[in-house]
Structure 1
Amino acid sequence: MTLKELSFFYRLCEEPHFSKTAQKLNITQSALSLAIKSLEHDIGEPLFDRIGKKLVLSETGRLFKELTYPAFTALLEAQSLFSGNALLGILKIASSKTIGDYLTPRIVFDFLLYHENVRIHKEIHNSATIIQMVKNGIIDVGFIESACDEREIVKETIGYDELIVVTGDGALANRCVYIDELFEKKWILREKGSGTREVFLEALGEIARSLPVFTEFSEFEEAKTLLLHSADIMTCVSRVVVEKELQRRELFEVQLKNVSIRRPFYLIYHKDKYQSKLLSTFKTHVLNVLRPS
């Protein structure tokens, strides 16, 4: 069953005469007849009844046309779209928490404004999960905040981020202290596998083993609620996460002596991933929005 055979069938439905339809299609009557017989062979029943000299759709033919014509027109439309220059397709992406909450929405929105035939399916996971999703071909592109040394994965730096220590304790505002001076506080950190957690603990070095982690969180709003609830709580998050709270002086940054945490954001994809026009254009768009400084 081919698109050409289906096309001949629908034209014959409109003009139920083999000779007239063949003439309009600029093919021989025998070629048209063979195409219809091929369809009938595939289906197993006649599509037309030959009533005297008349050609009439059979009950099977009427149902076949009803069921297949919408799909046929959709295929023709898709064929027309893909043969043109329009950018189209469905892109699957996943972002780590900071990027997914604060950067990806703007990136995706702006891209879709200019490419109406594109759909983007987006998810939010921690960096470790996203790396596995790329390795397994579940997503096309990932955005992560932690290091990735997997040989199967291509990693491109798309921007930089600053991690800061934050508290609701105004007495610590603008102070510069050693990390162990804050060990009496109740520390809350992102869950294991989070890029934010991994980068923070790595920056602390050996002393990170002694950091007393009171509990973990997966949502930034949860962390901010706890920070605003008790001045005894501390955490480490991206500056963009608490930017408004810092400006309103609801939360306060605590400077750490000998510790400065500036991490890269990465766009990752599988090394065997085909670089389609859609993927290449999306990558360029991301770099334009988040150009490294």
Structure 2
Amino acid sequence: MTLKELNFFYKLSDNPQVTQVAQELNISQSAISIAIKSLEKKLNEQLFDRVGKKLVLNERGRFFKDTTYPHYLAIKDAQTIFQKDKLAGHMKIAASKTISNYIMPDIYYDFLSLYSDVKFDIETINSTKILEKILDSKLDIGLIETDYTHINILREKLYEDELIIVTSDKNYPKESYIDTIEKKWILREVGSGTREVFINKLGKHANSLNIFMELHGFEEIKKILIDNKDCVTAISKVAVEKELKSKQLFEIKLKNFEFKREFYLIFHKDKQKNLLFQTFIEYLKDKLN
């Protein structure tokens, strides 16, 4: 087997569209087909089901990928091991929306600026979906807002955050009890780390909330709050720094609750900790500490 054949195989295992993979690799579709047929011949096994113009990974192909991919990454690392300043690889990362929108953009940019042969596939999804993808080995790294444990997931604390209550009503009392806030609550969707931390901390007091709307993004929530003084939300402090400074939004300090939380880095316990993986995690920790 050649590294080129294996590279084509792993690319197609993630994207069954031969045309798209050929365009990404800047080669012909026939070159990919020939390489895959060669690989299958050497293994004496068909790895893909031919469905129209797609090559769909079958059960034997999935087994082959799960078994060989860690070793393939190790070999790829070995190609650059003697080049001290060279790092190469393709990493799949997903972060929950607070982390993705307000913490990670500059970190992604700066890291990729340092290492031109590194590529990131970046997703912004809620913490629940990130956990599912980590368990299915569809992500290398997840960055989440919930305190979650699972036998197959390893986690590390990254950053301390605080949820605060905000409104655009500058005349509203600056301190209040949660049960006495008589405004419409605009919250993140079920499954988001922000909502989970907020509701879990409130306990039975959550029943007193008048939840008027549920949205997927903080920007939409902030716009509604700014335009409607009768609304309120619980939101990460880092997500409203500009609005607080410009006095578009105002914090309502709660007398009976405090919403401190940790952001976590998670990965599958069987994840191959190759050179790129370790370097990025060290860089991330350095930036957030």
The answer to whether the superposition gives a TM-score over 0.5 is yes
Asked whether the equivalents of residues 158 and 262 of structure 2 are also in contact (C-alpha less than 8 Å), the reply is: yes
- Is the Cα contact below 8 Å between 2:77 and 2:275 reproduced in 1? no
1:112-131 Cα shifts (integer Å, max 9, x gaps): 12111111110000000000
Deviation at 1:204, TM superposition (A): 1.3
Of 191, 194, 211, which residue of structure 1 is paired with 2:192?
Answer: 194
Aligned partner of 1:245 among 243, 246, 255: 243
- RMSD across aligned positions (CA): 1.9
Residues 33-90 of structure 1 deviation map (CA, whole Å, 9 limit, x = unaligned): xxxxxxxxx9xxxxxxxxxxxxxxxxxxxxxxxxxxxxxxxxxxx8995464321100
CA distance in 1, matches of 2:2, 2:98: 49
Residue 89 of structure 1 corresponds to 89
The answer for the alignment partner of 2:177 in structure 1 is: 178
For 2:7, the equivalent position in structure 1 comes to none
1:179 partner letter: I
**Partner of residue 44, structure 2:** none
Provide the C-alpha distance between the structure 2 equivalents of 1:127 and 1:79, rounded to a whole number of angstroms: 30
| Structure 1 equivalent of residue 61 of structure 2 | none
Write the mapping of 1:271-286 to structure 2, written as runs, cut at 5 A.
Answer: 271-286=269-284
Which consecutive unaligned segments of at least 5 residues does structure 2 have?
Answer: 4-37, 39-75
- In structure 2, how many angstroms separate the alpha carbons of the residues matched to 1:99 and 1:287? 14
* Maintained 8 Å contact 2:226/2:249: yes
DSSP-derived class of the 2:171 partner: helix
Other-structure match for 1:135: 135
Task: Report % sequence identity.
Answer: 44
> Where in structure 2 are the equivalents of 1:93-172 lying within 5 Å?
93-172=93-172
For 1:2 and 1:240, locate their aligned partners in 2 and report how far apart those are by CA, in whole Å: 48
Contact 2:77 2:88 in 1 (8 A): no
Q: Give the Cα separation in 2 of the matches to 1:114 and 1:177.
A: 47
Q: Is the 8 A contact 2:178 2:256 kept in 1?
A: no
Q: Which region of structure 1 is more displaced relative to structure 2, 107-116 or 157-166?
A: 107-116
Runs of 4+ in 1 over 6 A off after TM superposition: none
Q: Give the letter aligned to residue 115 of structure 1.
A: Y
What is the match of residue 220 of structure 1? 218
Checking the alignment, whether the CA contact within 8 Å between 2:95 and 2:125 is kept in structure 1 is yes
Structure with greater Cα Rg: 1
State how far apart, in whole Å, the 1-side matches of 2:278 and 2:159 are: 18
SS of residue in 2 equivalent to 1:237: strand
Q: Tell whether the 8 Å contact from 2:133 to 2:139 is kept in structure 1 after alignment.
A: yes
Could you tell which deviates more after superposition, 104-113 or 185-194? 104-113
Q: 2:60 matched to which residue of 1?
A: none
Q: Supply the AA of the counterpart residue of 2:175.
A: C
What secondary structure, in the 3-state scheme, does the structure 2 residue paired with 1:170 have?
coil
TM-aligned CA deviation for residue 171 of structure 1: 1.2
The TM-score normalised by the length of structure 1 is 0.70
Deviation at 1:209, TM superposition (A): 2.4
Q: TM-score, normalised by structure 2?
A: 0.71
Residue by residue, what CA displacement relative to the aligned partner does 1:253-278 show, whole Å, maximum 9, x if unpaired?
A: 00001211111000000001011011
Q: How far off is 1:2 after superposition?
A: 7.3
Residue 153 of structure 1 aligns with an amino acid whose one-letter code is: I
